[in-house]
C-alpha cells in the first residue's frame, strides 16, 4: 500500500467494532489495549485482539497499542500481538530511548529470525517525550514513525487545548524535526476528539499537514474522509508540479537554473519539492 494517511483506533473490547474498523476506509487499524480498556478487562481484551488478528490480519494492516512499559500488562500484550500477526506495535507514553530498546529487544526475541516487516510506533504524550523525541526516533531501526498524543500532553504541561492548536505548535514541530533528523517517516498527528466538528477536524489536519505531518490518528470512521482529503495531493497540485518539473528540466539542459513558471519563481529547492510531489503521485 502507499503511505497511510489514517490510523483508526478501535477498542479491543468489541469484536464487532473491530470488524467495522477493518472494513472501513482506514489505512491502518489500531486495536487498543490501553486507554480504551478498563483494568479489569485487560485479559479479556487481549483475547479479543488475538481472535481479531487471526481473522483479519491478512485483510488489513493492523497495529496494536499495548499498555505502557510501567504496567504489568505490556509483555503479555506484546507477545500476544506479535505471535498472532500484528503488523506493528504502538508504544504509549514513550519518553526515552531505553524504553524503545526494551520493547524492540522483546519484539526481536519473540520474532526470532522472522524477515517479515514489523514496525514500532512510539506515542509521544509528555514533556519528556517531546524533549527526547530525537533519541526516541533514532533509538532502534524498528521505529517507523512517531505519533503525537496531544490530550495527555496537554494534561502533562497543563495547557488549554484550543481549536487553533497554537499551544501545540512547538511540540508538533519538534516531532517533525526529530523524525526528519532521525531518518524515519513523517510523524502521525493526534486525534481530534470532537466527532461533531468536521470543520475543526479539517482545520487541525490542514495545520498539521502544513507543519510536516502526513497522517493522523482518528477515533471514528466518520473522520476518515476529511483526513484523506487533506493529506491527498489534488489533481491540480500534481498538474502544477509536473509543469514545474518539465519546465525546469528543459531550462537546466540549456544551462539555466532560475526560471518563472506561471509567474512563480522556480530554482532548485522549488524544483526538488515539485519533483518529489510529482514522483510520489505518479507512482500510485
Lowest mean pLDDT among 21-35, 72-86, 270-284: 270-284
Q: What are phi and psi of 133, to 5 degrees?
A: -60, -40
- In residues, how long is the chain? 284
Please count the CA atoms within 13 angstroms of the CA of 204 that sit on its side-chain side: 26
- Residue 284 pLDDT grade (very low, low, confident, very high; cuts 50, 70, 90): very low
**pLDDT per residue over 117-160, tens digit each?**
999 999 999 999 999 999 999 999 999 999 999 999 999 999 99
Q: What is the mean pLDDT of residues 90-110?
A: 97
Whether 265 has a pLDDT exceeding 90, the answer reads: no
Among 102, 180, 172, smallest CA distance to 134 is for 180
Q: What is the mean pLDDT of residues 64-91?
A: 97
65 annotated binding-site participant: yes
Instruction: Give the angle 19-45-42 at the CA atoms, nearest 5°.
Output: 160
**Mean pLDDT, the chain, integer:** 92
The domain 6-231 having CATH identifier 3.90.850.10: the answer here is no
Whether 236 has a pLDDT exceeding 80, the answer reads: no
**pLDDT per residue over 1-57, tens digit each?**
578 999 999 999 999 999 999 999 999 999 999 999 999 999 999 999 999 999 999
46 annotated binding-site participant: no
280 annotated binding-site participant: no
**pLDDT value, residue 282:** 59
Domain ranges of the chain: 6-231, 235-282
The C-alpha cell at 280 is 510520489
Instruction: Provide CB contacts within 8 A for 273, sequence distance 6+.
Output: none
Burial class (CB in 10 A: 0-12, 13-18, 19+), 177: middle
Q: What is the mean pLDDT of residues 56-75?
A: 96
**pLDDT value, residue 259:** 82
Amino acid at each position: 500500500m502507499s503511505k497511510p494517511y489514517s490510523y483508526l483506533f478501535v477498542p479491543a473490547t468489541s469484536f464487532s467494532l473491530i470488524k467495522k474498523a477493518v472494513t472501513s476506509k482506514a489505512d491502518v487499524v489500531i486495536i487498543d489495549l490501553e486507554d480504551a480498556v478498563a483494568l479489569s478487562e485487560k485479559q479479556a481484551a487481549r483475547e479479543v485482539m488475538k481472535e481479531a488478528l487471526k481473522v483479519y490480519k491478512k485483510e488489513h494492516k493492523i497495529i496494536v497499542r499495548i499498555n505502557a512499559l510501567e504496567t504489568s500488562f505490556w509483555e503479555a500484550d506484546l507477545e500476544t500481538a506479535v505471535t498472532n500477526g500484528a503488523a506493528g506495535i504502538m508504544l504509549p507514553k514513550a519518553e526515552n530511548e531505553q524504553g524503545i530498546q526494551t520493547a524492540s529487544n522483546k519484539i526481536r526475541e519473540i520474532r526470532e529470525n522472522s524477515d517479515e516487516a514489523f514496525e514500532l510506533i512510539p506515542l509521544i504524550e509528555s514533556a519528556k517525550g517531546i524533549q527526547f523525541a530525537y533519541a526516541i526516533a533514532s533509538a532502534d531501526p524498528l521505529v517507523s514513525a512517531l505519533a503525537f498524543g496531544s490530550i495527555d500532553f496537554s494534561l502533562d504541561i497543563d495547557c488549554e487545548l484550543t481549536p487553533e492548536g497554537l499551544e501545540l505548535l512547538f511540540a508538533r514541530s519538534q516531532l517533525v524535526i526529530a523524525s526528519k533528523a532521525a531518518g524515519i517517516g513523517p510523524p502521525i498527528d493526534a486525534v481530534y476528539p470532537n466527532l461533531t466538528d468536521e470543520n475543526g477536524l479539517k482545520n487541525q489536519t490542514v495545520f498539521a499537514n502544513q507543519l510536516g505531518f502526513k497522517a493522523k490518528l482518528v477515533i471514528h470512521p466518520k473522520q476518515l474522509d476529511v483526513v484523506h482529503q487533506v493529506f491527498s495531493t489534488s489533481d491540480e497540485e500534481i498538474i502544477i508540479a509536473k509543469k514545474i518539473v518539465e519546465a525546469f528540466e528543459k531550462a537546466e539542459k540549456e544551462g539555466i537554473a532560475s526560471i518563472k513558471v506561471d509567474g512563480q519563481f522556480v530554482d532548485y529547492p522549488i524544483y526538488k519539492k515539485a519533483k518529489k510531489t510529482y514522483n510520489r503521485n505518479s507512482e500510485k
